[in-house]
Each structure stands twice: as structure tokens, then as C-alpha cells.
Chains A and B, each alone.
Chain A
Amino acid sequence: MANFYTDNPDLKHHLNHPLMKKIVELKERNYTDAEKFDYAPVDFADAMDNYDKVLEIVGEICGTTIAENAEAVDHQGASCSDGHAHYADGTVENLDVCRKAGLMGMAMPRRFGGLNFPITPYIMAAEIVSRADTGFENLWGLQDCAETLYEFGSEEQRAKYIPRVCEGETMSMDLTEPDAGSDLQSVMLKATQKEDGTWVLNGVKRFITNGDSDIHLVLARSEEGTKDGRGLSMFIYDKRNGGVTVRRIENKMGIKGSPTCELVYKNAPAELCGSRRMGLIKYVMALMNGARLGIAAQSVGVSEVAYREAYQYALERKQFGKAIIEFPAVAEMLAVMKAKTDASRCLLYETARFVDMYKVYEDIARERKLNEEERAEMKHYSRLADALTPLAKGLGSEYCNQNAYDSIQIHGGSGFMKDYACERVYRDARITSIYEGTTQLQVVAAIRHVTTGTYRTLIESYANEEFTGELAPIAEKLKALTALYDEAVAKVTEANNPVLLDFMARRLVEMAGDIIMAYLLLLSAKVDERFLATTTVYTKLAQADVDKHIGFIRDFEPEQLKAYGI
């Protein structure tokens, strides 16, 4: 039986990163839950064993039920009738299996029925689910919303809703509207407070993933007469109360199992979550950061399946008397696909660990005052997470699209037909670089970490590690690439021209990403020599990319912007 966790030893490699010891110790508050909950770990080894065993369940379910259902789910898709969205049969089965396996609310505290997993193993589960069925990852991964509810909801709201999520009820985040996509400040959905203090919602939301969920987090305008983000608040809508109908669902290119809904709110009762006016500026920003990490995981899952499908086909397909993998052109494509997959996976888990580090301190701060050292550490990791999340999402989703493209290319004519999984993977991949902020918007979030030097400091910390033997020349190469990055940053920032900075932002962010991912692979290779080949391939790729960008930037004259219509 296929197991998508145990068949990929790289996952365990990333799970066993040294920083996990600190994360787990903090997360488990020195293992004090063991006295209250019979499934809580007693020490670090026990906790890690738990993650391993639970990921094995995830891997088994994904390798069997979810992967086997993926094609039928893609064909049948979700449907809409009587004001509700209906899942494909396979999706219903997938959800049922995940509920029975207890894989909902994985990161929630035990007192609400969760598993209290750190983000890192949870994100690993998301990657595995995405490899099995990318569209299903959306539905399963919306348990993320519980995190936001936990962070900003009242204790009463937590106790009311989070146990339901842990039992398997699904969630959605109702943000987008017909005239408010990337620009969420323009949200119009109206929240009205009645005389008794309760709230009702009226209006329309569009493109809502899993919009017929049990528990919704809704961004709505609570402050009449306001026009910007400061008039928006976050609300909880409970489907049990009624008031929201699904008008239609979108007919999409991919992730067809995940219903994308247009919702009509008619006096829908809702609870205010957190404080008024903080909906967009604080809560949705937090929600989006979590969701972006989720898409980064989804993207790595897509990269993995695209690579595996292509690799298997290239082994089996014979032309001119030999397997096509033996032709250098095909072998190179596969090596590059693998390098991109491995690189984006390294970045994904580095980001997840940083998110874990600051979130766990944030959570401890809900119980007691942090000391100065702890506060400094929280701030440090919060900044790093903030810097790496848009990179992991932006570059990871671009890589998975490239891999999906190459996967079809390796399948040749057969890949263009509906007969092979690569065709579905290609369609499913496409959304990853669009939703939860397009790649262009990830660049907007990332560029300030180019200009303020967050990436540069991180690169320096990697470069300070000792690399010997076969790794030494790669480390030297990366130092040379870093010098080119410095040159590019200096050239662009010294021009002191915001338009030019915008124009060059993606190039600079990609250069930073190339170098960071290459270093992360190199650090992996230091621990496990299996990563040496992929590190070599990725470094060549990074070198070519950095060379391309520095070439572009070096002799670019601001007057040339006109030719681009800028």
C-alpha cells in the first residue's frame, strides 16, 4: 500500500531539524499536558514519535483513499443546488476518512480537542495531502482558520467553535467580493449591529473556497460611511443559524473538487470576532499569512507529484530502443524538477519552523509575560517568518507550475491527453500562484526584506556555517552569487527611484530566494549526503538565474522604463 509519508525520506529529514527541540519544548510547555491528556507526549522523543506516527496515518490515507479518489473527484467536481454546494462523492469519502483519523484541528490545543501539533508537522501533512489531491488540500487545510479564531476570538468563542473543527466541521474565510479581490480594503459586505447588540450580515461574497462550510470567518464593513480597511471587522457566521445561501459555484480550470462559491448574505446572524475595525488590518493579515504558508505547502505537494509522475513515465516510456530517461535532455529536466521541488521544500520547512517559533511565544504570552530574551527571540523569528512566507508561497508556487509544465512535456503527446494524472496536476497547479495573493503581491510583501536587509542577514548566518569537502566549492559559489545580489540591490536602491524599485522588485526577490534556497539545500547536504546531487543542480540553476538578473539590472537605464509603458 502506498504511503506518501514513508515513501519520501526527505520529509523525515526536515521534521528532524535541530530547531524542533526548542519548538516542541515551548509548544508542550515542558510536557505538562501529559498529566491531563492521555495522548500528550511525556518528552521530546515521545512528541517526535507522535508526529512521525500521525504523519504515517496521513501518508497512508493520502496514498490510498485520497490519491485514488483524485481523478474521479476531478471529473465529477463539486456542484450547487438548493442554495448549497455539494462535494463530489470522493471528497465526501476523503473528509470522512480524515475525520475518523482525527486529522482535523491538528494544530489546536488539546483542551479544545486538538492534537496540539506545531505548525511544522501540520504543514508537512498539508504537503502530503496536496500531493494526493491538490483541491482536497484546500478543504482540509481550511482548518487553518481555527488558528485565527483561536488567536483573536474570545475564550467563549474558542470553546464554542474549535471543538467542532476538531470533530471535523469545515471552515471558510469569506474575504473576496466582486469588487474587492487583491484590494480587500474595498470590501462592502455590510455588518449591522441590532439594538440587542447582535450583528447581522448583508451582501455578496465571491470566489469563496468551500463557501458552504460549517463555520465562516467573514470580513465585513461594520463602520458605516467608512471606505477603507479601518472600517472592516471580522465576524463568525455559523451555518447552523442560516442566512447565507450559495448562489452559484465557479466552473474552474482546476481544483474542481473544491467548491468556489458565490455567497448571498441575507440578515445572516454573526458574532463579532475580536475588536471592531481590526478585521483587515490585524486579523485578516494573520489569517492570510497562515493561508500563504498553506499554499506554499500545497505547491510543494504539486511539485512532488509532478516530478514523480514524470519520473515514472520517463522510466517506463521507451523510444529509440531505450527508456527516455536515458536521454540527457529528459534527464536534465527531471533533475531540475527535483531540484526545484527539494529547494522549495527546504524553504517551506525553514519558514514553518520560524512561524512555529514566534507563534509559540505569542501563545505563551497569552498565559504569562515573556521575559526580555523571549520577547527578542519572538521578534526575531516573527520578522524571519514574515520575510520567508512570501518567498515560500511566491517562488514555491511558480516552481510547481514549472514542474507541472515539464511533467506534461516529459509525457509528450500522452501528457496532453486526459489519460495521465499530469494533466490534472497541471490544471490544479495553476491557481497556486494566484490565490492568497498573486506572485506579484508576494513580491510586494517581500521587497522590503530586500531593502531592509532581512534576507541578507539570513544569508550571512547560513554562510557562516562550516562547509567542507564537496560542499566547500558550492559554498564558495554561493558567496559569489551573494556578491552579485549585493551589487544588484545597491544598483537599484541607490537610484532612489520607487518606480524602478517596483520594476526590479521581482528580480531582486528571486535572487534572494535563489541564494537562500541553495544555502538551505547545502545545509541539508551537510547532514545527509543524499542532498548533494540536488544541491549541485540547484546551485547551477540559482547561478544561471542570478546571472540573468544581474545582467538585466547592471546596465538598465531608468529611461528604458518608458519602453515598458511605465
Chain B
Amino acid sequence: MSLNIIVLAKQVPDTRNVGKDAMKEDGTINRAALPAIFNPEDLNALEQALRLKETHPGTTVTMLTMGLPRAAEVIREAIYRGADGGIVLTDRALGGADTLATSYSLAQAVKKFGKVDLILGGRQAIDGDTAQVGPQIAEKLGIPQVTYAEEILGVENGRITVKRRLEHGVEKVVAPLPCVVTVNGSAAECRPRNAKRVMKYKRALSTSEAAKLDEAAAALYAAKPELNIAEWSAAFVEADPEQIGLAGSPTKVKAIENVVFTAKESRKLENNDAQIEELVKELIANHTIG
């Protein structure tokens, strides 16, 4: 059975390598100092989608990202790794959205796709760390959700079987399609960019990026529709202006404080290679060392 899969992805500032200048005086993120990257857990989600594409011939994997026009970079990255294409949901009116407005906007965009079997996304983005957008989209679409997914074990007869990674163990759940699955960072790493796909799709551009091409390049671009990354506006996805952007966001930041960590949690390790290796991996992953 072929599947129509949407993978939600977000372009985020790389908060994993935070230096002194990562925050501005007013406590907001200094985006200029942090490179924009593919949200790491969204890459884990993409890998799960690409594995389904391998086991279910005919499956299409389409990326959906909301953000500035430059978020097309995330779509290209995903195409290099095997995604079929993607949409940038971009509009000034969508700016300043909290998770409620974001999930509403994305849910509206998903509706535009027609039949969708599976919506995959990372558990959470490393800038906001809320883990709310995936579940809210499921609620707004009125479909089931499976969170903390570590591996999609299979899709059969309209049902998906998912291994969830929870605090004290794993859980295997079965859900009917369509549904939303949010994927943990503990899931398999995303496959690398593929050489041929990079050479083929390096010229994939969003509509607004293509508008800056000179005449000759624009003609070449127009002749190859597979290089077109579509941009959707709020109006195109029929979003209610009251429910999007700042207007649709009840969350307000009251104050921001600088917190200095003092107390350190302690943990006891057994004196064996496995535990030490695990700790070292963790410390490297969170950039304490390395």
C-alpha cells in the first residue's frame, strides 16, 4: 500500500552550541549569531518517513514547513535526503505565532493536501522546546496522535504500529490511519544527503527565491517543475486571520530572566564500560564535552 506522508519540519536557530552572544540584551534569541538548521528531531521523523517509502512503493513524502521564505533550505535538505518535495507556508500574517496559532496554520495547510495517511514530525523543536505543535495539529484535524515515537514498526491494513520511548521503558501502540506521529531524538538518525540528489536538486528554489533569478536561469527553472518549491500563503490555506500570527496567539512572554545554574544533579554510575560510554555519549551530545 502506498502512503501519502507529510513530514513537518522547522528551521531553527542552532541552540546546541550556544555562546555568549546567543541572547540579546532583552532576552530574545540573537538569530544572527546562531546558524539556522534543520530541527534535529524533525530529521529523525524524516528518516522514519523515508523508511516507509522504501517498504511501501509508491509512497510520497512531502515536507511542510512554516516560517520565513528562507526556510526553503529545510525543504531542500530533506529533498537531498530522499523527500519528494515540500511546501513553505510563509506569510507576514503568520509571524509571531505561538503554538496554538502555529498548529492551526499548519492544520489548515494539511487540509489543502487532500488525502493524507500519516503526518510525521519531531517531538519538539530545539528553540521553543514545547512539544505542543504536533499534538495540537492532531486535535485540530480530529485524528489520533502517537507521541515519543522511536520507531515505526509497520503499517498494515490502515493501521500503524509504533514503538514509543517513555521514561521508564518502551510501549508498542497501534493506531488507525490517518494519524500524527511525533518522533524522539532517540530514533534512528536521518540518512545523509545523497550525492546524485544534491547535484540534481541543488537548484530547487521556492517561488520567492526563483523571483530573484536572472532571465536565463529563470527559463531553465521554469522548464523543470520538479525544482519548484511551492509557497503557500495564509489566504491560500484559508486560514482565519483572527486565529493566526500574533492575533491568534494567546501566549504572551511576561518576563525573561537570566538563570545561573548552581546546584548540580548527581548520578551514580556502575564501574563498567557500557555505563561510562553512555555518559560520555550524553555529555558529547549535550556539548558538555567534545
Check B196 against A102 for contact (C-beta < 8 Å): yes
Q: Are B200 and A101 in contact (CB under 8 A)?
A: no
Q: How far is the CB of A118 from chain B (nearest CB, A)?
A: 14
Is A60 within 8 A of B196, CB to CB? no
Q: How far is the CB of A108 from chain B (nearest CB, A)?
A: 12
Q: Of the 9-residue stretches B83-91, B122-130, B186-194, B244-252, which lies at the interface with chain A?
A: B186-194
The interface residues of chain B lying within 8 Å CB-to-CB of A103 are 195
Q: Give A60 to B81 CA distance when docked, in angstroms.
A: 14
Of the stretches A47-55, A472-480, A490-498, A530-538, the one at the interface is A47-55
A38: B residues at CB distance < 8 A: 200
Contact with B194, one of A40, A60, A102 (Cβ below 8 angstroms): A102
Q: Are A39 and B191 in contact (CB under 8 A)?
A: no
In A190-243, the 8 Å CB interface with B consists of none
- Give B226's nearest chain A residue, CB to CB: A38
Cβ-defined contact, A57 with B202, below 8 A: no
Top 10 closest A-B pairs, CB basis? A39-B199, A102-B195, A101-B192, A39-B200, A100-B191, A102-B194, A39-B196, A54-B195, A50-B199, A38-B200
Closest to A93 in B: B189
Chain B 155-196 interface residues, beta-carbon cutoff 8 Å to A? 191-196
A-chain residues with CB within 8 Å of residue B191 when the two chains form the complex: 97, 100-101
Task: Report if B198 contacts A (CB, 8 A).
Answer: yes
18 extra interchain contacts, Cβ-Cβ under 8 A, other than A39-B200, A100-B194? A39-B199, A40-B199, A50-B198, A50-B202, A57-B192, A57-B194, A57-B195, A57-B198, A60-B193, A100-B191, A100-B192, A101-B192, A101-B194, A102-B194, A102-B197, A103-B195, A115-B195, A115-B199
| A53 and B192 form a contact (CB under 8 A) | no
Chain A's nearest CB lies how many Å from the CB of B136?
31
B193 contacts which chain A residues (CB < 8 A)?
A: 57, 60, 101
- Does A523 sit within 8 A of B, measured CB to CB? no
Bound Cα distance from A106 to B196, whole angstroms? 10
**B residues adjacent to A (C-beta < 8 A):** 191-200, 202
Residue in B191, B194, B197, B202 with the greatest tally of chain A CB atoms within 10 Å: B194
Q: Answer whether residue A61 sits at the interface, using C-beta atoms and an 8 A cutoff.
A: yes
A61 with B192: CB separation less than 8 A? yes
A61-B192, A101-B193, A102-B194 are known contacts. Are A53 and B200 too (CB-CB below 8 A)? no
> In the complex, how many angstroms separate the beta carbon of A357 from the nearest chain B beta carbon?
24
- A71 → chain B, closest Cβ, in Å? 10
- CB B213 to nearest CB in A, in angstroms, measures 15
Chain B CB within 10 Å — which of A49, A54, A101 has the most?
A101
Please tell me which one of the listed residues A53, A60, A61 contacts residue B199 in the complex, with CB atoms under 8 A apart.
A53
Q: A97: nearest residue on chain B (CB-CB)?
A: B192
The residues of B that contact A97 with a CB separation of less than 8 Å are 191-192
Cβ-defined contact, B202 with A53, below 8 A? yes
In the complex, what's the smallest C-beta–C-beta distance from A323 to chain B, in angstroms? 19
Most-contacted residue by chain B among A53, A54, A100, A115 (CB, 10 A): A100
The distance from the CB of B162 to the nearest CB of chain A, in whole angstroms, is 23
Which residues of chain B come closer than 8 Å to A101, judged between CB atoms? Answer: 191-195
List A residues at the B interface (Cβ < 8 Å): 38-41, 49-50, 53-54, 57, 60-61, 97, 100-103, 106, 115
A284 to chain B, nearest CB (A): 30
Q: Report how far A106 CA is from B194 CA in the complex, Å.
A: 12
* Complex contact B202–A49 (CB within 8 A): yes
Chain A's closest residue to B281 (CB) is A68
The complex places the Cα of A41 from the Cα of B202 at a distance, in Å, of 11
How far is A61 from B192 in the complex, measured between Cα atoms in Å?
7
Q: Which residues of B contact A40 (CB under 8 A)?
A: 199
Which of chain B's residues has its CB closest to A49's CB? Answer: B202
Subset of 23 A-B contacts with CB under 8 Å: A38-B200, A39-B196, A39-B197, A39-B200, A40-B199, A50-B198, A50-B202, A53-B202, A54-B199, A57-B193, A57-B194, A60-B192, A60-B193, A97-B191, A100-B192, A101-B192, A101-B193, A102-B194, A102-B195, A103-B195, A115-B195, A115-B196, A115-B199
Point out the residues of chain A lying under 8 angstroms from B196, CB to CB.
39, 102, 115
How far apart are the CA atoms of A39 and B196 in the complex, in Å?
6
Query: Could you tell me the distance between the alpha carbons of A101 and B199 in the complex, rounded to whole angstroms?
Result: 12
Instruction: Tell me the bound Cα distance from A102 to B194 in angstroms.
Output: 5
Query: Taking the nearest CB of chain A, how far is it from the CB of B53, in angstroms?
Result: 13
CA distance A525 to B194 in the complex (A): 35
**Least CB separation from B196: chain A residue:** A39
Q: Which residue of A lies closest to B203 (CB)?
A: A46
| A61 / chain B contacts, CB cutoff of 8 Å | 192
Q: In chain A, what residue has the closest Cβ to B220?
A: A42
Residues of A within 8 A of B198 (CB): 50, 53-54, 57
Residue of A nearest to B16 (CB): A1
C-alpha gap A39/B194 in the complex (Å): 11
A54 to B198, alpha carbons, bound, how many Å? Answer: 8
With both chains docked as a complex, state the minimum distance between the C-beta of A273 and any C-beta of chain B, in angstroms: 27
User: What is the CA–CA distance of A60 and B202 in the complex, to the nearest angstrom?
Assistant: 17
Complex Cα distance A60/B195, Å? 12
Q: Which among B196, B197, B198 has the greatest number of chain A C-beta atoms within 10 A?
A: B196
A40 to B202, CA, bound (A): 12
State in angstroms the CA–CA spacing of A53 and B200 once bound together. 11
Q: Which residue of B lies closest to A75 (CB)?
A: B273
Residues of B within 8 A of A54 (CB): 195, 198-199
Q: Please report the C-alpha to C-alpha distance between residue A194 and residue B107 in the assembled complex, in whole angstroms.
A: 69
B80: nearest chain-A partner, CB-CB: A57
Q: Within 8 Å CB of A106, what residues of B?
A: 195
Identify the closest chain A residue to B195 (Cβ).
A102
Once the chains are docked, how many angstroms separate the CA of A267 from the CA of B268?
60
Q: How long is the Cα–Cα vector from A97 to B189 in the complex, in angstroms?
A: 11
Across-interface contacts of B192 in A (CB, < 8 A): 57, 60-61, 97, 100-101
Closest beta carbon of chain B to A496's beta carbon, Å: 54
Report the bound CA distance from A61 to B190 in whole Å. 12
Give B260 Cβ to nearest chain A Cβ, in Å: 26
A101 to B191, CA, bound (A): 8
Docked CA distance A41–B194 (Å): 16
Cα of A336 to Cα of B248 in the assembled complex, Å? 64
| Closest chain A CB from B37 CB (angstroms) | 9
Closest to B50 in A: A100
Whole-angstrom distance between the Cβ of A92 and the nearest chain B Cβ:
14
CB distance from B259 to the nearest CB of A (A): 27
Q: How far is the CB of A1 from chain B (nearest CB, A)?
A: 9
Closest chain B residue, CB of each to CB of A166: B196
Select the residue from A38, A60, A61 with max chain B CB neighbours within 10 A: A38
The CA-CA distance from A38 to B193 in the complex, in Å, is 17
**Residues of A contacting B199 with CB < 8 Å?**
39-41, 50, 53-54, 115
Nearest B residue to A2 via CB reads B290
